[in-house]
Amino acid sequence: MGDRASLDAETEYVKDLPGFDKTHPQFFRDPMIDKLLEITLLIGGEIWTNRDRQMVMEHLLATEGRVTPDLIETFRPDDEFEKRSEELRLQFVHRIFGCLYDDAGIPEDLNHFKWLTDKKADAGADRN
Amino acid sequence: MATHNQFPDRGTVGPTPAMTTRSDETFLNYIKDLRSVLMWGRSKEIHPKINAAIEAKGIPVEATKESVEAVRKIARDHFPEAGVWARVYRSTQDAFWTRVAESYGMREEDFLKMLDDSDTMGPGSVTWDPDYVYPEYAKVETHRQIGGYVGHPLAGLHYDYGTRVFAGNVSKDDQLHKAMAEKISPPLDGEVNRIMDLACSVGRLTCQLKRRFPDAEVWGSDISAAMVRYAHYRAIQQELDVHFLQKASEDLDELPANHFDLVTVHILFHEVPTPVVDRTIANVYRMLRPGGTFWISDFPTLRAGQKGLSYTNFLGSIDSADNNEPYAPEFVRSNIEDKLRDLGFTLRYEDPEDMLVYGRVCDKPS
């Protein structure tokens, strides 16, 4: 079972599988749209990062009366700050990118993997 | 952990070292929301439409480059929303793995020293081989993680934080792995003295198994030295006595036969080629004591009906080819249940609706 040479021979085919190598797929007719959408997604992140830093600075000035790079880096938001930040971030994402789906609104189901931890207590009880 | 002077110590998120800067953490939170709003929250309306078009056009969805390109072409020509979905998936996947690697990379020396120091600390232990030569199949940069599982010395840290971005809130406090450990079925006779968690990566499930079975000797193995070294560090942070071993799951011959009461494997089989799956399950049968239990958590297969088909259409094509999951298509098209029966296992429980959390529960006859 531990014969590396035979395993290597048996798995030689994997090099031809899609996804074995990194490629540059194109999802729009004009590949420039792929690039521009990626650029926009990343710029949004840089803008949000600056906005967050500004919010932290304003909070520190209001609560501590001073602000330093170290205070920003080690800032631990309380639940209220965290919740407000999450709300603003979702609104920010939807405001900028909602047009991609004809402004369909923020989806209700945002926690895609929640079903994994939300199983009913009795589900699968017969597995024992 | 000591950090370089230019970076303030930002602490940890649970047992996971925080990002080096607040900007990195903020950017990754944004990426997480971007994916929720533009991707996960849209899958239910977008995927069925393009899947119907794929079927209507009679495109054979196969694990070939030609088939995947035909699926992409349908998105390009007829479903720009599917193009947006795929582009957001691909671009954000690259963005978060890159950012995680860059952020931890700023403190790479510190983290390497942290792993060196942890190697000889307890509780628990780690055994790894600095000269290990990885098989070619394992060198894929799965999920587009920088360096993949085996090609970067900080792969464990990358995986730990990166999967927090990928899975969102269910990864917080290891909730998912805690849920799985609580539901894993022990052997029918209830005896659990030794546990082996195969392909344990950063040891989330391994540690939760130790919490559930505190008196058992708990082992985690993984092909990646970077993973087991970090898993050991992570277990130390939780003060858990767990043993980690660098071993490919198909290469466990030297471990004793009839030894373990419970062997678990979570989402390995769709990430390795079929010959590795076959060798692994044969090894597990050998390693389990009579009456022992093998718990498998992974994708459903085609034999599970419609649920199993979910990985063979648009999502399956894009995920396998463009998110570097090259082995998933062959796993979902396999019949692992028949292979398990052929080896001698009895399948106690399987439900295609519950393949990840409840898994497939297989017993070695007493």
- B 236-265: CB under 8 A from A: 250-254
With cut-offs at 50, 70 and 90, classify the pLDDT of residue A122: very low
Q: How many CA atoms lie within 13 A of B249 on its CB side?
A: 31
**Nearest chain A residue to B33, by CA:** A90
Cβ separation B135–A7 shorter than 8 A: yes
The pLDDT of residue B304 is above 80: no
B283 in A contact zone (CB under 8 Å): yes
The residue among B7, B9, B10, B36 with the most chain A CBs within 10 A of its CB, best to mutate, is B36
pLDDT at B62: 77
Residues of chain B contacting A110 with CB distance shorter than 8 Å:
33, 36-37, 40-41
Given pLDDT bands bounded at 50, 70 and 90, which one contains residue A104?
Answer: confident
Tell me the average pLDDT across B280-308: 86
Q: Which residues numbered 88-147 in B keep a CB inside 8 Å of some CB on A?
A: 88, 90-92, 95, 135-137, 140-141, 144
Residue range B248-280, pLDDT digits in tens: 999 988 899 999 999 999 999 999 999 999 999
Distance from CA of A112 to the nearest CA of B (A): 6
Report how many Cβ contacts below 8 Å link chain A to chain B. Answer: 226
pLDDT at B183: 86
In chain A, residues with a C-beta closer than 8 Å to the C-beta of B172 are: none
Question: Average of pLDDT values for A2-7?
Answer: 83
Reported ipTM? 0.91
Stretch B282-305: mean pLDDT: 89
CA distance A65 to chain B (A): 20
* pLDDT at residue B358 in the model: 64
Best of A59, A60, A117, A120 to substitute, by most chain B Cβ atoms within 10 angstroms, is A117
**pLDDT at position A100:** 92
Which one of B23, B144, B183 has the shortest CB-CB distance to A124? B183
Which run of H or E residues covers position B67? helix B65-78
**Of the ranges B167-171, B219-223, B349-353, the best mean pLDDT one:** B219-223
Minimum mean pLDDT range among A118-127, B55-64, B172-181, B348-357: A118-127
Residue B359 CA to its chain's centroid (Å): 14
Nearest CB neighbour to B320, from listed A2, A19, A112: A19
| Residue B16, pLDDT above cutoff 90 | yes
The pLDDT tens digits of the residues spanning B163-207 come to 999 987 677 788 889 988 998 999 999 999 999 999 999 999 999
At A120, is the pLDDT very low, low, confident or very high (cuts 50, 70, 90)?
Answer: very low
Q: Does domain B174-363 have CATH number 3.40.50.150?
A: yes
The 10s digit of each residue's pLDDT in A40-55 is 999 999 999 999 999 9
Q: Which residues of A touch B140 (CB under 8 A)?
A: 14, 19-20
Whether A19 and B72 have beta carbons less than 8 Å apart is answered as no
| Exposure b/e, B254-286, CB count within 10 A at least 16 = b | ebeeeebbbbbbbbbbbbbbbbbbbbbbbbbbb
Give residue A123's pLDDT band: very low, low, confident or very high (50, 70, 90).
very low
Selecting from A14, A25, A123 the residue whose C-beta is nearest the C-beta of B326 gives A14
Tell whether the model's pLDDT for residue A93 goes beyond 50: yes
Residue A104, by phi and psi: left (phi above 0), alpha (psi -120 to 50) or beta?
Answer: alpha
Cross-chain residue pair B354–A124, CB shorter than 8 Å:
yes
Residue B11: the pLDDT is: 93
What is the mean predicted confidence (pLDDT) over A91-114? 82
pLDDT of residue B44: 86
Cβ B72–A15 below 8 Å, yes or no?
no
Residue B312 touches chain A, beta carbons under 8 Å: no
Chain A contact probe: residue of B45, B66, B170 with most A CBs at under 10 A: B170
- Residues B25-46 pLDDT 10s: 999 999 999 999 999 888 888 9
Using CA atoms, how far apart are residues B140 and A33, in angstroms rounded to an integer? 28
Mean pLDDT of chain B: 92
| Per-residue pLDDT, B175 | 86
Token digits of residue B320: 């396998």
Residue A124 has pLDDT above 90, yes or no: no
Q: From A1, A14, A10, select the one nearest B329 (Cα to Cα).
A: A14
Say if the Cβ atoms of A45 and B42 lie within 8 Å: no
Name the B residues in 13-32 with CB < 8 Å from any A CB: 21-23, 26-27, 29-31
pLDDT score at A101: 86
pLDDT value, residue B333? 85
Residue B123's SS3 state is: coil
User: CA of B82, closest CA in chain A: separation in Å?
Assistant: 8
Q: Choosing among B45, B64, B76, which should be mutated to test the A contact, i.e. which has the most A CBs within 10 A?
A: B76
pLDDT score, position A56: 98
**Per-residue model confidence as pLDDT tens digits over B79-115:** 999 999 999 999 999 999 999 999 999 999 999 999 9
Which of B84, B326, B358 is closest, CB to CB, to A124? Answer: B358
Residue A121 has pLDDT above 60, yes or no: no
Give the sign of the dihedral formed by CA B228, CA B233, CA B237, CA B239: positive
**Which residue spans within chain B are E strands per DSSP?**
12-13, 16-17, 125-127, 194-198, 217-222, 243-246, 260-266, 288-297, 346-349, 360-363
Give the number of other CB atoms < 10 A from CB of residue B293: 26
Domain segments of chain B as ranges: 174-363
Residues B120-165 pLDDT 10s: 999 999 999 999 999 999 999 999 999 999 999 999 999 999 999 9
Say which residues have a Cβ less than 8 Å from residue B67's Cβ, sequence separation at least 6. Answer: A18, B59, B60, B61, B317
Q: Considering only CB atoms, which chain B residues are within 8 Å of A8? A: 135-136
